[in-house]
Amino acid sequence: MRTVRLVLVTATGDVVGALPTFAVTTPWWQEVEPVVATARERFGIGVTILRLLEAANERPPGGAVTYLAELDPDVSPSDLPVQPWHGVLDDQPRRAGYARLGGPTADLAWARGILAEHGLRLAGRPVQVRTWNLSSLWRLPLAQGCAWLKVVPRFLAHEGELLAHVAGENLYDADATRYLAMVSLLVALQASWAGRVDKLPALGVPDARAPRLGAAIMATVERRMADLPAEDRSMLDRFARDLPERLDAIAACGLPATLVHGDMHPGNFRGDRRALTLLDWGDSVVGHPLLDHSAFLGRVPADAAPAVRRHWARLWSDIVLGCAPERAATLLAPVAAARRAAVYQGFLDAIEPAEHPYHRDDPVAWLRAAATAAHAKDR
Protein backbone atom coordinates (compact mmCIF):
# COMPACT_ATOMS: atom_id res chain seq x y z
CA MET A 1 0.00 0.00 0.00
CA ARG A 2 1.16 3.51 -0.87
CA THR A 3 -0.32 6.87 0.03
CA VAL A 4 0.31 9.09 -2.98
CA ARG A 5 0.45 12.84 -3.39
CA LEU A 6 0.86 14.33 -6.86
CA VAL A 7 2.43 17.76 -7.31
CA LEU A 8 1.10 18.97 -10.64
CA VAL A 9 3.05 21.02 -13.17
CA THR A 10 1.98 22.25 -16.60
CA ALA A 11 3.89 21.61 -19.81
CA THR A 12 5.26 25.16 -19.54
CA GLY A 13 6.64 24.55 -16.05
CA ASP A 14 4.02 26.30 -13.91
CA VAL A 15 3.37 24.57 -10.59
CA VAL A 16 -0.38 24.13 -10.13
CA GLY A 17 -0.38 22.62 -6.63
CA ALA A 18 -0.86 19.24 -5.02
CA LEU A 19 -3.84 16.95 -5.42
CA PRO A 20 -5.44 15.44 -2.31
CA THR A 21 -3.67 12.25 -1.30
CA PHE A 22 -4.97 8.89 -2.41
CA ALA A 23 -4.02 5.26 -1.86
CA VAL A 24 -2.88 2.60 -4.32
CA THR A 25 -2.48 -1.02 -3.37
CA THR A 26 0.80 -1.64 -5.21
CA PRO A 27 3.55 -0.68 -2.73
CA TRP A 28 6.50 -0.36 -5.12
CA TRP A 29 7.37 3.28 -5.68
CA GLN A 30 8.52 2.87 -9.28
CA GLU A 31 5.27 1.19 -10.36
CA VAL A 32 3.29 4.21 -11.54
CA GLU A 33 0.61 2.66 -13.75
CA PRO A 34 -1.88 2.43 -10.84
CA VAL A 35 -1.00 5.99 -9.81
CA VAL A 36 -1.80 7.36 -13.27
CA ALA A 37 -4.97 5.24 -13.47
CA THR A 38 -6.22 6.43 -10.06
CA ALA A 39 -5.59 10.08 -10.96
CA ARG A 40 -7.72 9.62 -14.07
CA GLU A 41 -10.48 7.72 -12.27
CA ARG A 42 -10.69 9.97 -9.22
CA PHE A 43 -9.93 13.41 -10.66
CA GLY A 44 -10.65 12.93 -14.37
CA ILE A 45 -7.21 14.08 -15.49
CA GLY A 46 -4.36 12.68 -17.53
CA VAL A 47 -0.89 12.94 -16.02
CA THR A 48 2.62 11.66 -16.65
CA ILE A 49 4.74 10.89 -13.59
CA LEU A 50 8.11 12.58 -13.96
CA ARG A 51 9.94 11.63 -10.79
CA LEU A 52 9.90 10.97 -7.07
CA LEU A 53 10.06 14.15 -4.99
CA GLU A 54 10.06 12.74 -1.47
CA ALA A 55 9.10 9.71 0.59
CA ALA A 56 8.22 9.29 4.24
CA ASN A 57 10.02 5.95 4.50
CA GLU A 58 13.79 5.71 4.26
CA ARG A 59 13.48 2.98 1.64
CA PRO A 60 10.77 1.32 -0.45
CA PRO A 61 8.23 -0.15 -0.48
CA GLY A 62 5.06 1.46 0.85
CA GLY A 63 4.44 4.54 2.94
CA ALA A 64 3.65 8.08 1.82
CA VAL A 65 5.30 9.19 -1.42
CA THR A 66 5.16 12.42 -3.41
CA TYR A 67 5.68 12.54 -7.18
CA LEU A 68 5.99 15.36 -9.66
CA ALA A 69 3.38 14.86 -12.39
CA GLU A 70 3.09 16.71 -15.71
CA LEU A 71 -0.49 17.50 -16.71
CA ASP A 72 -1.75 16.53 -20.13
CA PRO A 73 -2.10 19.62 -22.36
CA ASP A 74 -5.89 19.34 -22.53
CA VAL A 75 -6.31 19.63 -18.73
CA SER A 76 -7.46 22.99 -17.36
CA PRO A 77 -5.48 23.66 -14.13
CA SER A 78 -8.14 26.04 -12.80
CA ASP A 79 -10.64 23.18 -12.53
CA LEU A 80 -8.53 21.01 -10.24
CA PRO A 81 -9.04 20.57 -6.48
CA VAL A 82 -5.42 21.33 -5.67
CA GLN A 83 -3.82 22.41 -2.42
CA PRO A 84 -0.87 24.82 -2.20
CA TRP A 85 2.55 23.19 -2.44
CA HIS A 86 5.47 25.11 -1.01
CA GLY A 87 8.34 22.94 -2.18
CA VAL A 88 11.05 23.92 -4.64
CA LEU A 89 11.62 22.30 -8.01
CA ASP A 90 15.38 22.40 -8.34
CA ASP A 91 17.55 21.30 -11.23
CA GLN A 92 19.89 18.34 -10.89
CA PRO A 93 22.71 17.59 -13.33
CA ARG A 94 22.27 13.84 -12.81
CA ARG A 95 18.56 13.86 -13.57
CA ALA A 96 17.46 11.47 -16.32
CA GLY A 97 15.93 13.04 -19.41
CA TYR A 98 12.66 11.19 -18.89
CA ALA A 99 12.37 12.73 -15.39
CA ARG A 100 12.44 16.25 -16.83
CA LEU A 101 9.53 18.33 -18.04
CA GLY A 102 8.72 17.29 -21.59
CA GLY A 103 11.07 14.32 -21.48
CA PRO A 104 8.45 11.56 -21.73
CA THR A 105 6.65 13.48 -24.49
CA ALA A 106 9.86 13.52 -26.52
CA ASP A 107 10.46 9.82 -25.84
CA LEU A 108 6.98 8.91 -27.04
CA ALA A 109 7.39 11.05 -30.16
CA TRP A 110 10.59 9.16 -30.96
CA ALA A 111 8.81 5.84 -30.46
CA ARG A 112 5.97 6.88 -32.75
CA GLY A 113 8.52 7.72 -35.44
CA ILE A 114 10.22 4.32 -35.18
CA LEU A 115 6.88 2.52 -35.27
CA ALA A 116 5.86 4.52 -38.32
CA GLU A 117 9.03 3.43 -40.12
CA HIS A 118 7.77 -0.15 -39.64
CA GLY A 119 4.25 0.65 -40.81
CA LEU A 120 2.80 0.64 -37.28
CA ARG A 121 0.63 3.18 -35.49
CA LEU A 122 -0.59 3.54 -31.95
CA ALA A 123 -4.11 2.23 -31.44
CA GLY A 124 -4.71 3.96 -28.13
CA ARG A 125 -3.21 6.03 -25.36
CA PRO A 126 0.34 5.02 -24.30
CA VAL A 127 0.36 3.56 -20.78
CA GLN A 128 3.07 4.66 -18.37
CA VAL A 129 4.03 1.53 -16.44
CA ARG A 130 7.12 2.45 -14.44
CA THR A 131 9.53 5.28 -13.83
CA TRP A 132 12.54 5.59 -11.52
CA ASN A 133 16.25 6.20 -11.70
CA LEU A 134 16.91 3.03 -13.71
CA SER A 135 14.22 3.18 -16.39
CA SER A 136 11.06 4.65 -17.85
CA LEU A 137 8.73 1.96 -19.17
CA TRP A 138 5.69 2.47 -21.42
CA ARG A 139 3.25 0.05 -23.00
CA LEU A 140 2.29 1.16 -26.51
CA PRO A 141 -1.02 -0.32 -27.77
CA LEU A 142 -1.06 -1.33 -31.43
CA ALA A 143 -3.84 -2.63 -33.65
CA GLN A 144 -2.55 -6.10 -32.86
CA GLY A 145 -0.81 -6.49 -29.52
CA CYS A 146 1.53 -3.83 -28.22
CA ALA A 147 5.12 -2.61 -28.19
CA TRP A 148 7.22 -1.51 -25.24
CA LEU A 149 9.29 1.63 -24.84
CA LYS A 150 12.04 1.39 -22.26
CA VAL A 151 14.20 4.48 -21.79
CA VAL A 152 17.23 4.18 -19.54
CA PRO A 153 19.85 6.56 -18.14
CA ARG A 154 23.25 6.93 -19.77
CA PHE A 155 24.94 4.35 -17.54
CA LEU A 156 22.58 1.63 -18.83
CA ALA A 157 22.41 2.90 -22.41
CA HIS A 158 23.57 -0.33 -24.06
CA GLU A 159 20.08 -1.80 -23.59
CA GLY A 160 17.60 -1.50 -26.46
CA GLU A 161 14.78 1.05 -26.21
CA LEU A 162 11.86 -0.22 -28.30
CA LEU A 163 10.77 -3.83 -27.92
CA ALA A 164 8.12 -5.99 -29.49
CA HIS A 165 5.69 -7.62 -27.10
CA VAL A 166 6.77 -11.01 -25.74
CA ALA A 167 3.93 -13.48 -25.33
CA GLY A 168 3.30 -15.18 -22.02
CA GLU A 169 3.92 -13.90 -18.51
CA ASN A 170 6.78 -12.87 -16.26
CA LEU A 171 7.94 -16.09 -14.64
CA TYR A 172 8.49 -15.10 -11.03
CA ASP A 173 6.58 -18.20 -9.95
CA ALA A 174 8.06 -20.72 -12.38
CA ASP A 175 8.39 -24.39 -11.45
CA ALA A 176 11.58 -26.43 -11.15
CA THR A 177 11.49 -27.59 -14.78
CA ARG A 178 11.35 -24.01 -16.00
CA TYR A 179 14.33 -23.07 -13.83
CA LEU A 180 16.43 -25.65 -15.67
CA ALA A 181 15.22 -24.34 -19.02
CA MET A 182 16.15 -20.80 -17.99
CA VAL A 183 19.69 -21.85 -17.14
CA SER A 184 19.98 -23.81 -20.39
CA LEU A 185 18.92 -20.74 -22.38
CA LEU A 186 21.45 -18.50 -20.64
CA VAL A 187 24.35 -20.94 -20.93
CA ALA A 188 23.67 -21.56 -24.64
CA LEU A 189 23.67 -17.81 -25.23
CA GLN A 190 26.87 -17.36 -23.24
CA ALA A 191 28.58 -20.21 -25.09
CA SER A 192 27.71 -18.53 -28.39
CA TRP A 193 29.43 -15.31 -27.26
CA ALA A 194 32.47 -16.88 -25.61
CA GLY A 195 34.63 -16.69 -28.73
CA ARG A 196 33.71 -13.15 -29.67
CA VAL A 197 33.54 -11.18 -26.44
CA ASP A 198 35.71 -8.40 -27.83
CA LYS A 199 32.73 -7.30 -29.94
CA LEU A 200 30.65 -6.57 -26.83
CA PRO A 201 32.49 -3.50 -25.47
CA ALA A 202 32.08 -1.91 -28.90
CA LEU A 203 28.32 -2.27 -28.37
CA GLY A 204 28.59 -0.44 -25.06
CA VAL A 205 28.60 -3.50 -22.78
CA PRO A 206 30.87 -2.73 -19.78
CA ASP A 207 33.97 -4.82 -19.19
CA ALA A 208 33.87 -6.69 -15.85
CA ARG A 209 36.67 -9.14 -16.49
CA ALA A 210 39.08 -9.83 -13.65
CA PRO A 211 41.33 -6.72 -13.73
CA ARG A 212 38.49 -4.20 -13.92
CA LEU A 213 36.22 -6.23 -11.67
CA GLY A 214 38.88 -6.39 -8.98
CA ALA A 215 39.54 -2.66 -9.24
CA ALA A 216 35.83 -1.80 -8.98
CA ILE A 217 35.39 -4.04 -5.94
CA MET A 218 38.43 -2.62 -4.18
CA ALA A 219 37.32 0.96 -4.83
CA THR A 220 33.92 0.21 -3.29
CA VAL A 221 35.47 -1.57 -0.31
CA GLU A 222 37.71 1.42 0.37
CA ARG A 223 34.80 3.87 0.14
CA ARG A 224 32.31 1.95 2.26
CA MET A 225 34.38 -0.16 4.67
CA ALA A 226 33.85 2.28 7.52
CA ASP A 227 30.08 1.87 7.22
CA LEU A 228 30.21 -1.81 8.17
CA PRO A 229 30.11 -3.24 11.71
CA ALA A 230 33.53 -4.11 13.12
CA GLU A 231 33.13 -7.87 12.69
CA ASP A 232 32.16 -7.48 9.05
CA ARG A 233 35.03 -5.06 8.46
CA SER A 234 37.49 -7.69 9.62
CA MET A 235 36.04 -10.36 7.32
CA LEU A 236 35.81 -7.94 4.40
CA ASP A 237 39.41 -6.81 4.90
CA ARG A 238 40.56 -10.43 4.65
CA PHE A 239 38.45 -10.95 1.51
CA ALA A 240 39.93 -7.81 -0.08
CA ARG A 241 43.52 -8.85 0.71
CA ASP A 242 42.93 -12.28 -0.82
CA LEU A 243 40.98 -11.01 -3.84
CA PRO A 244 43.82 -11.16 -6.43
CA GLU A 245 44.60 -14.74 -5.43
CA ARG A 246 40.91 -15.64 -5.53
CA LEU A 247 40.50 -14.16 -9.02
CA ASP A 248 43.50 -16.15 -10.24
CA ALA A 249 41.99 -19.33 -8.80
CA ILE A 250 38.70 -18.58 -10.54
CA ALA A 251 40.48 -18.12 -13.87
CA ALA A 252 42.24 -21.45 -13.37
CA CYS A 253 38.84 -23.19 -13.31
CA GLY A 254 38.80 -22.83 -17.07
CA LEU A 255 35.50 -21.11 -17.92
CA PRO A 256 35.69 -18.42 -20.62
CA ALA A 257 34.73 -14.77 -20.31
CA THR A 258 31.47 -14.06 -22.08
CA LEU A 259 28.24 -12.07 -21.91
CA VAL A 260 26.86 -11.85 -18.37
CA HIS A 261 23.23 -10.84 -17.87
CA GLY A 262 23.94 -9.18 -14.53
CA ASP A 263 20.45 -9.48 -13.03
CA MET A 264 19.39 -12.97 -14.04
CA HIS A 265 16.41 -14.18 -12.02
CA PRO A 266 13.11 -15.88 -12.92
CA GLY A 267 11.19 -12.59 -13.01
CA ASN A 268 13.37 -11.36 -15.86
CA PHE A 269 12.23 -14.30 -17.99
CA ARG A 270 8.99 -14.06 -19.89
CA GLY A 271 7.24 -16.74 -21.85
CA ASP A 272 4.83 -19.62 -22.02
CA ARG A 273 5.16 -23.38 -22.39
CA ARG A 274 6.54 -22.99 -25.90
CA ALA A 275 9.15 -20.27 -25.55
CA LEU A 276 11.33 -18.34 -23.11
CA THR A 277 12.80 -14.86 -23.50
CA LEU A 278 15.38 -13.34 -21.14
CA LEU A 279 14.70 -9.61 -20.74
CA ASP A 280 16.24 -6.59 -18.96
CA TRP A 281 19.86 -6.53 -20.13
CA GLY A 282 20.72 -3.15 -18.63
CA ASP A 283 23.08 -4.70 -16.08
CA SER A 284 24.90 -6.88 -18.63
CA VAL A 285 28.69 -6.98 -18.67
CA VAL A 286 31.56 -8.94 -20.14
CA GLY A 287 32.83 -11.25 -17.46
CA HIS A 288 32.82 -14.69 -15.90
CA PRO A 289 29.66 -16.58 -16.89
CA LEU A 290 28.98 -17.76 -13.36
CA LEU A 291 28.60 -14.20 -12.10
CA ASP A 292 24.94 -14.91 -12.92
CA HIS A 293 24.97 -18.01 -10.70
CA SER A 294 24.40 -16.67 -7.20
CA ALA A 295 21.82 -14.05 -8.22
CA PHE A 296 19.63 -16.70 -9.85
CA LEU A 297 20.03 -19.24 -7.07
CA GLY A 298 19.15 -16.57 -4.53
CA ARG A 299 15.74 -16.14 -6.15
CA VAL A 300 14.65 -19.77 -6.52
CA PRO A 301 13.21 -21.92 -3.71
CA ALA A 302 15.85 -23.59 -1.56
CA ASP A 303 14.64 -27.08 -2.44
CA ALA A 304 15.11 -26.36 -6.17
CA ALA A 305 18.59 -24.86 -5.88
CA PRO A 306 20.68 -28.11 -5.74
CA ALA A 307 19.21 -29.44 -8.99
CA VAL A 308 19.72 -26.07 -10.69
CA ARG A 309 23.31 -25.95 -9.48
CA ARG A 310 24.06 -29.45 -10.78
CA HIS A 311 22.40 -28.72 -14.12
CA TRP A 312 24.39 -25.51 -14.52
CA ALA A 313 27.66 -27.33 -13.81
CA ARG A 314 26.84 -30.15 -16.24
CA LEU A 315 26.13 -27.72 -19.05
CA TRP A 316 29.48 -25.97 -18.71
CA SER A 317 31.34 -29.24 -18.22
CA ASP A 318 29.96 -30.42 -21.57
CA ILE A 319 30.93 -27.16 -23.29
CA VAL A 320 34.44 -26.74 -21.86
CA LEU A 321 36.09 -30.09 -21.28
CA GLY A 322 38.14 -30.18 -18.09
CA CYS A 323 36.68 -27.01 -16.57
CA ALA A 324 35.66 -26.86 -12.92
CA PRO A 325 32.34 -24.99 -12.70
CA GLU A 326 31.51 -26.15 -9.16
CA ARG A 327 34.77 -24.78 -7.77
CA ALA A 328 34.40 -21.59 -9.83
CA ALA A 329 30.90 -21.02 -8.42
CA THR A 330 32.14 -21.48 -4.85
CA LEU A 331 35.03 -19.08 -5.33
CA LEU A 332 32.84 -16.55 -7.13
CA ALA A 333 30.08 -16.32 -4.52
CA PRO A 334 31.66 -13.51 -2.46
CA VAL A 335 33.03 -11.85 -5.60
CA ALA A 336 29.55 -11.72 -7.14
CA ALA A 337 28.17 -10.15 -3.95
CA ALA A 338 30.97 -7.58 -3.86
CA ARG A 339 30.34 -6.80 -7.52
CA ARG A 340 26.68 -6.08 -6.67
CA ALA A 341 27.93 -3.61 -4.05
CA ALA A 342 30.05 -1.87 -6.69
CA VAL A 343 27.12 -1.76 -9.11
CA TYR A 344 24.80 -0.15 -6.57
CA GLN A 345 27.48 2.33 -5.53
CA GLY A 346 27.76 3.24 -9.20
CA PHE A 347 24.02 3.85 -9.31
CA LEU A 348 24.19 6.16 -6.31
CA ASP A 349 27.06 8.10 -7.88
CA ALA A 350 25.08 8.57 -11.10
CA ILE A 351 21.58 9.52 -9.89
CA GLU A 352 20.06 12.55 -8.25
CA PRO A 353 19.69 12.67 -4.45
CA ALA A 354 15.90 12.31 -4.39
CA GLU A 355 16.31 8.85 -5.94
CA HIS A 356 18.89 7.63 -3.40
CA PRO A 357 16.35 5.86 -1.14
CA TYR A 358 15.99 3.17 -3.82
CA HIS A 359 19.64 2.10 -3.42
CA ARG A 360 21.06 3.83 -0.34
CA ASP A 361 21.49 0.66 1.73
CA ASP A 362 22.53 -1.67 -1.07
CA PRO A 363 26.32 -1.18 -1.25
CA VAL A 364 26.83 -1.89 2.44
CA ALA A 365 24.33 -4.77 2.45
CA TRP A 366 26.14 -6.47 -0.43
CA LEU A 367 29.58 -5.87 1.07
CA ARG A 368 28.34 -7.56 4.23
CA ALA A 369 27.04 -10.44 2.11
CA ALA A 370 30.44 -10.71 0.42
CA ALA A 371 32.25 -10.78 3.75
CA THR A 372 29.88 -13.43 5.11
CA ALA A 373 30.17 -15.58 1.98
CA ALA A 374 33.97 -15.38 1.98
CA HIS A 375 34.10 -16.26 5.67
CA ALA A 376 31.73 -19.21 5.21
CA LYS A 377 33.78 -20.64 2.32
CA ASP A 378 37.02 -20.26 4.27
CA ARG A 379 35.80 -22.16 7.33
258 & 360 share domain: yes
122 & 183 share domain: no
> Would you call 319 helix, strand, or coil by DSSP?
helix
User: Where does the pLDDT of residue 379 fall: very low under 50, low under 70, confident under 90, or very high at 90 and above?
Assistant: very low
Residue 139 lies in a domain: yes
Q: Please say which residue of 27, 48, 79 terminates a domain.
A: 79
Cβ–Cβ under 8 Å, residues 262 and 289? no
214 & 315 share domain: yes
Beta strand pairing call for 2-9 and 15-18: antiparallel
Nearest of 74, 15, 68, 20 to residue 42 by alpha carbon: 20
294 & 334 share domain: yes
Which residues span the domain enclosing 110? Answer: 97-165
Cβ–Cβ under 8 Å, residues 18 and 30? no
Residue 9, domain CATH:
3.10.20
Q: Please say which residue of 140, 165, 190 terminates a domain.
A: 165
175 & 245 share domain: yes
Residue 325 lies in a domain: yes
Residue 89 lies in a domain: no
Cβ–Cβ under 8 Å, residues 344 and 216? no
Residue 92 lies in a domain: no
Position 378 pLDDT exceeds 60: no
119 & 69 share domain: no
Average pLDDT over every residue of 62-71: 98
Using the 8-state DSSP alphabet, how is residue 280 labeled? Answer: -
Residue 190 lies in a domain: yes
176 & 319 share domain: yes
Cβ–Cβ under 8 Å, residues 138 and 149? yes
184 & 304 share domain: yes
Q: What is the pLDDT of residue 185?
A: 96
Position 170 pLDDT exceeds 90: no
145 & 242 share domain: no
Q: Please say which residue of 165, 199, 216 terminates a domain.
A: 165
Residue 23 lies in a domain: yes
Nearest of 3, 6, 73 to residue 43 by alpha carbon: 6
User: Where does the pLDDT of residue 163 fall: very low under 50, low under 70, confident under 90, or very high at 90 and above?
Assistant: confident
DSSP strands (E only) in 168-246: 169-170
- CA of residue 298 relative to chain centroid, distance: 16
Residue 91 lies in a domain: no
Residue 341, domain CATH:
3.90.1200.10
Give the tens place of pLDDT for each residue, 97-130. Answer: 999 999 999 999 999 999 999 999 999 999 999 9
Q: What total of structural domains would you count in the chain?
A: 3
- The alpha helices in 267-324, defined as continuous H runs, are 293-297, 305-319
User: Where does the pLDDT of residue 273 fall: very low under 50, low under 70, confident under 90, or very high at 90 and above?
Assistant: confident
Angle formed by the axes of helices 230-251 and 210-224, to 10°?
A: 180
158 & 190 share domain: no
Average pLDDT over every residue of 229-247: 94
49 & 106 share domain: no
Nearest of 31, 105, 96 to residue 355 by alpha carbon: 96
Continuous segment of H or E residues that includes residue 149: strand 146-151
Average pLDDT over every residue of 132-155: 94
- Rounded CA gap, 235 and 158, in Å? 35
| pTM of the predicted structure, to 2 decimals | 0.93
Residue 105 lies in a domain: yes
Mean pLDDT, the chain, whole residue set: 94
User: Where does the pLDDT of residue 377 fall: very low under 50, low under 70, confident under 90, or very high at 90 and above?
Assistant: low
What are 242-248's contacts with CB under 8 Å, separation 24+? Answer: 242/374, 243/214, 243/217, 243/218, 243/335, 244/214, 246/331, 246/334, 246/335, 247/210, 247/213, 247/214, 247/335
208 & 344 share domain: yes
